[in-house]
């Protein structure tokens, strides 16, 4: 029986979720100081005013021992955002995507508004999930993995954009190449280019395309997007150097309508392995970059 590749993404998400357990445990310790033996006792609290006060106190409380809550790629959130996210996740909601927009509907300080909103979410969550076993660490852990995966997807593109930008700047400085790397993406005829490099002899547009798995219709769309990005840039008079980070990508580099392409045959989750290869690829293209000075 042939083996399939390990699900590296799942492994990494589990690691990050476990890193977040001390932050969760600290919430439980706090609730115990407020008279609740376990999370479930607080979830089912019928005294709405009391529950709201407890939530507000938690928001205002300093997290001890420099504990952190981490996002999908193990970057720590700020303390205030971490507390907001943790409570939202525990009560099975999406704090940033769904709840944040409701805060303006409430009056009071920011912590008072957050407490009022989270308390309403708590009441609703309990009405839907009244069983005690729904409020132990393991089910919360599963929810956290799901939320971390969502944050990871939104972060991943920006992560490689910043990695590319940083390494380009460092290589240009090291090799005395006077080119300007823009700090933001640009849009051109509906296409987004993550990096813009400008020099006296022209402009290079660099779309960064990443994909964790290859197969099916999504793989065809991924390849089509690469072709389109190259075509739009070329028709507008720009040099295009696409960066493709995808394991087992079946596209033909020779069929891409551009002279220079960076293809890294790695899963984009393997950041520590991808970045050194990316640097070598940039060094390979030094003369190309110099031609734009």
| pLDDT, tens digit, 9 for 90 and up, residues 89-137 | 999 999 998 999 999 999 999 999 999 999 999 999 999 999 999 999 9
Interval 195-210 mean pLDDT? 95
30 or 223: which leads in pLDDT: 30
Report pLDDT for 196: 97
Report pLDDT for 1: 46
Model confidence at 62: pLDDT above 60: yes
Q: Are strands 180-181 and 191-193 parallel, antiparallel or unpaired?
A: unpaired
Model confidence at 12: pLDDT above 90: no
| pLDDT, tens digit, 9 for 90 and up, residues 267-293 | 887 877 898 999 999 999 999 999 999
Interval 11-16 mean pLDDT? 88
Q: Is the CB of residue 115 less than 8 Å from the CB of residue 59?
A: yes
pTM for the predicted model, two decimal places: 0.61
Question: Could you give the CA distance from residue 187 to residue 194 in angstroms, rounded to a whole number?
Answer: 9
Q: What is the secondary structure of 152-196 as a DSSP string?
A: HHHHHHHHHHHHHHHHHHHHHHHTT---EE-SS-EEETTEEESEE
| pLDDT, tens digit, 9 for 90 and up, residues 35-52 | 999 999 999 999 999 999
């Amino acid at each position: 029986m042939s083996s399939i590749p390990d699900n590296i993404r799942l492994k990494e998400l589990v690691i990050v979720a476990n890193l977040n357990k001390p932050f969760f445990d600290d919430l439980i310790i706090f609730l115990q100081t407020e008279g609740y033996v376990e999370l479930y006792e607080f979830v089912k609290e019928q005294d709405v005013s009391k529950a709201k006060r407890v939530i507000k106190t938690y928001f205002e409380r300093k997290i001890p021992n420099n504990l952190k809550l981490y996002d999908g790629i193990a970057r720590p959130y700020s303390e205030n955002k971490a507390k907001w996210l943790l409570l939202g996740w525990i009560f099975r909601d999406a704090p940033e995507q769904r709840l944040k927009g409701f805060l303006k509907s409430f009056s009071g300080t920011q912590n008072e508004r957050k407490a009022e909103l989270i308390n309403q979410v708590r009441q609703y969550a309990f009405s839907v999930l009244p069983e005690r076993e729904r409020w132990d660490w393991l089910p919360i852990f599963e929810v956290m993995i799901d939320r971390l995966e969502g944050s990871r997807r939104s972060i991943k593109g920006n992560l490689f954009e910043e990695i590319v930008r940083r390494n380009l700047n460092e290589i240009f400085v090291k090799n005395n190449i006077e080119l300007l790397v823009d700090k933001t993406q640009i849009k051109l005829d509906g296409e987004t280019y993550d990096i813009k490099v400008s020099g006296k002899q022209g402009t290079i547009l660099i779309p960064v395309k990443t994909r964790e798995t290859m197969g099916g219709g999504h793989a065809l769309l991924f390849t089509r997007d690469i072709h389109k990005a190259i075509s739009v840039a070329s028709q507008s008079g720009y040099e295009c150097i696409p960066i493709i980070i995808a394991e087992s990508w079946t596209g033909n580099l020779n069929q891409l309508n551009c002279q220079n392409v960076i293809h890294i045959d790695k899963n984009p989750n393997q950041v520590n392995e991808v970045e050194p290869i990316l640097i070598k690829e940039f060094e390979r293209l030094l003369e190309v970059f110099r031609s734009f000075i």
